[in-house]
Amino acid sequence: MPEIIRPLVSRKADILLYPGLSILLLACAYYFVMHAAYFLGHAIAFDWNIFVNSAKAYISTGRLYEKGLWLYGPGAAIYKFPPFFLSIVIFFFQNGVSAESLWFWNAMIHIALYICTGAIILLSLKRHHTFLLYLLAAIFLLSFEAFFDNFLRLQLEIYVVFLVSLGIFFLNQRRYFASGFCLGISVGLKIYPAFFCIGLITRRDYRSLVGLLAGFFSTAAISLTTINSSEHWHYFTQIMPHMLSENMSLVPDNISITHLLMLLGCKESITRYIATSCLILAIVIVVSGVIFYEYTKNISKNNTAAINEDPADAFRIASGFSVLVAGFVVGAQNSWWNYQLLLMIPIITSMVLLMDKRYFNWLGLFAIFLSALLIYCGSNRNLPGLMTFISSVTGNRNVMPSMLLTSVYLRTVASMLVYIASAGLYWRVLREQAK
C-alpha cells in the first residue's frame, strides 16, 4: 500500500487490498475481452461506414467533399475531417484491400493503440510508479467505457489521443521536434488538437511548434498523393471555416457544458459565455501556472534554472496538458461523447499524481473515481439497464423516456469532475515544485 495511504488504514488491509484488486482486474479483463469480441463478431462500426462510403465515392467520382456547406452541420453523418485519414483508406482500396479486411485491422489497431496510449502516459511519469498504480491503471483501462463508445464506431479519437500522449512523452524526453511532429499529425486527422498547442506556446517551445507545422504539412503532402488538390482547397478554405463557426447542437450526443445548461433552462447566450469561460480558464490556468513557476524558481535559484531544463518538468507538462485536454472536453461548444476518450490523459496522469504523497488528496481521488463511474453509467449500452433497475426499485415507469437526457447529465458532470481535479492537481504540482 502506498506510504501516503498506509497511515489512514490498518496494515492488515494489505491482506485484502491486492487480492481484491486482482479479482477486480480479472473481472475487468473478462469484461474487456467479451465486449471487444462481441463488437468484432458483429462488425459494428457506424462511423466507419461513412469513411468507407466516402472513400468509394471519391474513387468513382473524384469528389470527396460536398459543395453545399449547409450539409456540414454539427453531428452530420458525413466525412468532414481533413483529407489525410481518408487518403490512407483510399490508398488501400486502390491496392485491392477489401473494406472488411480494412475494418478488421482498423479495429485491431484501435485495441493496440488504446493499450499503448495508457502505457505511454505512465512512461511519461515513470519515476513515480508503484505496483498498486499498475493495478489501478490496468483496471481503469480495461473498464473505461469511453473506449468502447469509440470502438463501437471506429472514430478517429484513438489516433488523436495516442498522438497527443506520444507528444507529451517526447516533450518529457526533451525531444521537442518529435513532440510537435506528433501533435501536427493529430491536427492533420482532426482540427481540434490544435487547441492543445497552447501548452507549447506558453512554454515558448518554438522547436515543438516547428515540428507541429512539419507534422501537419506532412499529412497534407501524403494526402495529396491520393486526393486531388481541389478537394484540399475546398476543405481548408470553405468547409473548415464553416465548421469552426458552427452552432451548438442539442442532440444527446453533445455532452458539453453548453448543452447541459440549455437542458437546465439557461439561455443560449449564457451557455456560450460559460463554455467560452471554461476554455479561457483552462488557458489562464496553464499560462499563469507557467508564469508562477518561472517567477518563483528564478527567485529561489537566482535565475540559474530554466524551466525547460528542470528535472521535475515531467509533472508540470503532463498536468498542464491534462488541464487543457479536460478543459476542451468540457468547454467545446459541441463536445461529442467520443471526445471523452481524451480524458484518459488527465485521469491516468491524476492517478500517478495521487500516488505521490506530496499531491495526494481525498477530494481529487474521489473526483477521478466518480468521473470514471459516471462515464460507465452514462454509456448508451449500460444506461438502459441502470434505468430499468431504478424503475423496478422505485416503481416509477416514466424514467425510461429521460434516458438520453440522463446520459448527457452523467457524462458532462464526469468531464467537469476531471477538469476540476486536473486543475487542482496542476496547482499543487506547481506550488510544491516552486518551494
Note the pLDDT of residue 178: 94
Q: In degrees rounded to 5, what are phi and psi of residue 336?
A: -80, 155
**In terms of domains, do 241 and 265 share one?**
no
Most confident of the following: 110-114, 274-278, 312-316, 429-433 = 110-114
**In terms of domains, do 349 and 230 share one?**
no
How far are the Cα atoms of 75, 141, 314 from residue 234, in angstroms, in the given order?
20, 39, 40
Q: Is residue 18, in this structure, part of any structural domain at all?
A: no
**In terms of domains, do 67 and 131 share one?**
yes
User: What is the Cβ-side half-sphere exposure of residue 388, based on CA atoms within 13 angstroms?
Assistant: 5
Most confident of the following: 379-383, 386-390, 406-410 = 406-410
**Which DSSP string corresponds to 93-140?**
HHTT--HHHHHHHHHHHHHHHHHHHHHHHHHHTGGG--HHHHHHHHHH
Q: Point out the domain boundary residue: 202, 218, 245.
A: 245
**In terms of domains, do 205 and 300 share one?**
no
Note the pLDDT of residue 127: 63
pLDDT, one tens digit per residue, over 65-77 is 988 888 887 777 7
pLDDT, one tens digit per residue, over 327-364 is 999 888 888 888 999 999 999 999 988 888 888 888 88
The average confidence (pLDDT) of the chain is 82
**In terms of domains, do 339 and 385 share one?**
yes
Task: Band the pLDDT of 305: cuts 50, 70, 90.
Answer: very low
**In terms of domains, do 180 and 84 share one?**
yes
pLDDT, one tens digit per residue, over 112-128 is 999 999 999 998 887 66
pLDDT, one tens digit per residue, over 206-220 is 899 999 999 999 999
Cβ atoms 432, 353 nearer than 8 A: no
Q: Is residue 84, in this structure, part of any structural domain at all?
A: yes
- Long-range pairs for 381-385 at CB < 8 Å and ≥24 separation? 381/145, 381/148, 381/152, 382/145, 383/407, 383/410
Note the pLDDT of residue 67: 84
Could you list the residue range(s) of the whole structural domain that residue 70 is in? 23-245
Q: Which amino acid is at 311?
A: P
Q: What pTM did the predictor assign?
A: 0.88
**In terms of domains, do 234 and 252 share one?**
no
**In terms of domains, do 235 and 334 share one?**
no
Q: Is residue 5, in this structure, part of any structural domain at all?
A: no
Q: Is residue 16, in this structure, part of any structural domain at all?
A: no
**In terms of domains, do 330 and 348 share one?**
yes
Quote the number of domains for the chain.
Answer: 2
> How crowded is residue 413: how many other Cβ atoms within 10 Å of its Cβ?
19
Q: Is residue 15, in this structure, part of any structural domain at all?
A: no
Q: Could you tell me the three cell numbers for 65?
A: 467533399
**In terms of domains, do 159 and 302 share one?**
no
Q: Is residue 224, in this structure, part of any structural domain at all?
A: yes
Note the pLDDT of residue 131: 80
Task: Band the pLDDT of 8: cuts 50, 70, 90.
Answer: very low
